[in-house]
Structures are given as structure tokens and as C-alpha cells.
Structure 1
């Protein structure tokens, strides 16, 4: 009896479609290339390694998405860590630096919907080479803008039989379907607000 029950459970599990993907309305959260790190120099015009004042980077990004019937809210928390240059004085003084950041909402991978400037204060304790700060951001979207049209959802979720003429045709190969999914896909991008010289330095590293 136990063997028969186990066999039934295995067969039931095998009946699930392993190719079915559930699309989340929540935006992806990411750091674009070359803006996740910030290097400050002293003097500012120098780009020599021995002139590096400190190097900061964005780490430990966490996001909590709360979708409802009306809205999709995403709360983001992150840390900024930094390492400063060692000094001839072993008793490094305590120091705070305020670093500019941006939070952008992008639609379809290339359309900038909104951008907000913010900042994070990084604190170096006395005698410490490493400093740390925390930041937060929030994104809110209407549920309607992240929901594909009903006809597109129907095409994507329709179960096809092997004998159907389009059984082997991926619905995403249709430009109309692909465009609809792209238009309802969003990303939250987080990074340092860099000037041209700082961005060029990051690209060249």
C-alpha cells in the first residue's frame, strides 16, 4: 500500500509542466555597469594610485516587493562600504563622507521613466580604515502598467496539444507579444551619481 501511494505521488508530480513560468509583476533591482563603485582622489585632479582617498561600493542590496490588486510597491535597502587610504598617523580621525547616488525606474530595458537623486552618509570610526553607511529607496507602480493585455496573457498561457499546428511555435517569437511583455517589464537601477571623470576612470579600470 505504501509503495502504491508513493508511485501515485511521483506520477502526480510528473504531470506538472516543468516549462511553465510564472511571471512576477515585481521590478528587477540591479546596479548598472560602471556605477557600482566610486573612487575619490586627493588631490581630486590626480589619478595616481597613491592619491586614492577612498573607494566606496554598493553592496548587500535587498528588496521586498508587495504586489496588490492596485499597486506594486518595492522597498529596497542597501549598504555602502568604503576603504580609505592609510595615514602616517596610526590614530585615523573619525570621518563622515556623503556620497551621491541615483535611483532610476526603467521600462522595457531602455526607457527612463523616473530618476531620483539621493545620498548616503558613510562613517569611518576613529582608527578604522573601513567605513559603512546604509540607504533605502522605494518604487511604486500601478498594477495595470505591469500587467500585459488579456489577449497576450491568453496566448502565453494557452495549453497546446502536440497535434496543434503551432505546438512548436514560441509565443514570444511574435513581435506583438514580445513588445507587450517588454512594455510591462520594469527595472529599478541603483548606482553612484558619477561625474564624467569618475565614470571614465571606472570604465578604464
Structure 2
């Protein structure tokens, strides 16, 4: 299940939700083509068992989580470039001996809340020192978007920003309630999703524990 996306609106020098009553009614807000960065439900942690056929608490070998997600976006170039840096923190049950494990993670670009337009798989190596239960390592994901795909059509922009005077038939109608506006905003909205690349059994464990 994908996390819900908060969709910003249109660029303006006024504040989000400001209403201009001097020359008519118009809602001004800010919008950016940069994708929202999120971790899908159930993919932000991973549990490794030993033996792998058991899911008993006594068989837990390593538990790891994705945390400290930070993103930066550049929308000024030919492509909208977004980079998400994050940390993987892990804990093992047996601290004897030095050990390195490789954990797979994914980065997926999703359009409109459901359409996957790109997916990459990476790995992050976690190295435990002898005698240590905990270890961590940095990782990152990135995406490139076509600015045209992330831009609202001009007619939709006009519907949202058009000044409405008191007495107009649609003066009290929120333009965001228009199905065409909702659909256009959804189509031009993207997410960069990151999380562990889980097996079916690992995902079921996360969902049911």
C-alpha cells in the first residue's frame, strides 16, 4: 500500500490559501514539480531469521530499519532531479565476530499515486564489528522527471487561479472540487518511494506481526 501524497498547488507570491477579496475571489498556493519522498507502508524495516524457515522470536537474526530520510530536489534543469539520502540502522542478536550483511532496497518513481514509471534495486552493506550488536550505513536513491509531465495544463491553472467576484455563479465553488482539476493534479504528481526489497514472506511478516 502506498503512502498518501500531499499535493501542493500553484506558485504565487501570496500565502497558501490566501483569498484576494479586492479584485475578486481567487485561491493562491504553491506548487513544485519535485516528487514527494516517502517510505511505503510495510517496507521500512526488515527482519532476517536463522533458520530462514522459522519466524519465531528466538530465531530473529538481524533487524534493520530505514531512517533519517533527507531529500533535495533541483527543478531548474532539463530534468527534475531528486536525491534522497537515508540511513539503514541494524541490530543483530549474536554479537560474536565481525560480520557484513547486504540488504536490498528499492527506489520507485510513482505517478498519480499508483502508476510505476521507474524502479531500481540497490544494496547497502552493514558491517558489524566484533562484539557489537548495532551497526549502520548510509544509502541513497535518485530520480529524474520530465518537467512537462509534472506541469499542470494551462487550462487547469486558469480554473484554479481565475478571479471570482461575488455574485458569479461559481463564486462559492472550490475549483479543487472539479473532477477535471483533481485528475490533472493527480496525473502531474509524482512520488519517489524507497524501502527494503522484501520477499513475499518478509512482507507478510511485516504486515501481520
Which interval holds the TM-score relative to the shorter structure?
0.7 to 0.9
Is 2:97 aligned against 1:93? yes
Q: Which residue of 2 aligns with 1:134?
A: 138
The answer to which of 53-62 and 134-143 deviates more is: 134-143
More helix by share: 1
SS in 1 for 2:159: helix
Q: How does 1:1-205 map to 2 (within 5 A)?
A: 17=18, 20-68=28-76, 70-87=78-95, 92-205=96-209
**Aligned residues between the structures:** 188
Compute the TM-score of the two structures, normalised by the length of structure 1: 0.86
Contact 2:18 2:29 in 1 (8 A): no
Contact 1:70 1:144 in 2 (8 A): no
The answer to which of 68-77 and 184-193 deviates more is: 68-77
Larger radius of gyration: 1
* CA-atom RMSD in angstroms: 1.8
What 5-or-longer segments of structure 1 have no aligned partner? 1-12
What 5-or-longer segments of structure 2 have no aligned partner? 1-13, 20-26
Determine the C-alpha separation between the residues in 1 that align with 2:18 and 2:153: 24
Task: Decide whether aligned partners of structure 1 residues 122 and 69 sit closer, same or farther in structure 2, where only a CA change above 3 A counts.
Answer: closer
Shift of 1:191: 0.9
Structure 1, residues 88-113: CA drift from partner, whole Å, max 9, x if none? xxxx3221110011110000001111
Shift of 1:69: 5.5
